[in-house]
Chains A and B, each alone.
Chain A
Amino acid sequence: AQSVSQHNHHVILSEAASLELGCNYSYGGTVNLFWYVQYPGQHLQLLLKYFSGDPLVKGIKGFEAEFIKSKFSFNLRKPSVQWSDTAEYFCAVNADGGSQGNLIFGKGTKLSVKP
């Protein structure tokens, strides 16, 4: 069965620190990859997505992610975090063998940014 692993449960950073959140998936075929963010008390919002082409994807709010097919990874990065980035981040995968639009989510990484 397909699965998504997020390596860190909770990351605590100071403002201006660099961020990298790990995401690995288990599926050998074609995948579509997503990062969603959930700010406290809010619903999920799409940060960025990868379908094909350039493996370095840029999203909103200065976030980017790199798809490394050989490592089955899609890590999220931001060079300098802000207090407003405090949120929970979810990696998600849709595989071509999966049921159409269904997403498989990782368990999430909570990011706390200290001012």
Chain B
Amino acid sequence: NAGVTQTPKFQVLKTGQSMTLQCAQDMNHEYMSWYRQDPGMGLRLIHYSVGAGITDQGEVPNGYNVSRSTTEDFPLRLLSAAPSQTSVYFCASSYSGLYTYNEQFFGPGTRLTVL
């Protein structure tokens, strides 16, 4: 199993550009989520999904869109990049959000810089 994979590893954008961060998992996990990590802030939840076709907002959803058309993939879209979105983005998945005690597995992260 590859686990949770994310692409790209690094990305530089100009203000106003859009892009999609890719996340895929091959563990047949129903629950997937996106976090951003900023120095001194820990990880903050952006969006999450409890299954294909179901998504919801987390703590910091503004400026981001998600969709979940398959169990395996959970892309994160930046609609119009802003410098405040400079961060490291982590995707995570777990067996099922219905059982809240399941361990979340994290991807390697995408480091995004917005100029």
Contact = CB atoms under 8 A, between A and B. Distances in A.
A99 B94 CA distance: 14
A102 B42 CA distance: 14
Interface stretch (B12-20, B64-72, B74-82, B101-109): B101-109
Q: How large is the interface on B (under 10, 10 to 19, 20 to 34, 35 or more residues)?
A: 20 to 34
B40 A102 contact: no
Interface in A29-76: 32, 34, 36, 42-46, 49, 51
Interface of A: 4, 6, 9, 32, 34, 36, 42-46, 49, 51, 90, 92, 94, 96, 98-108
7 contacts: A51-B101, A90-B42, A90-B43, A99-B58, A101-B33, A101-B100, A107-B40
Interface of B: 31, 33, 35, 40-45, 48, 50, 56, 58, 90, 92, 94, 96-104, 106-109
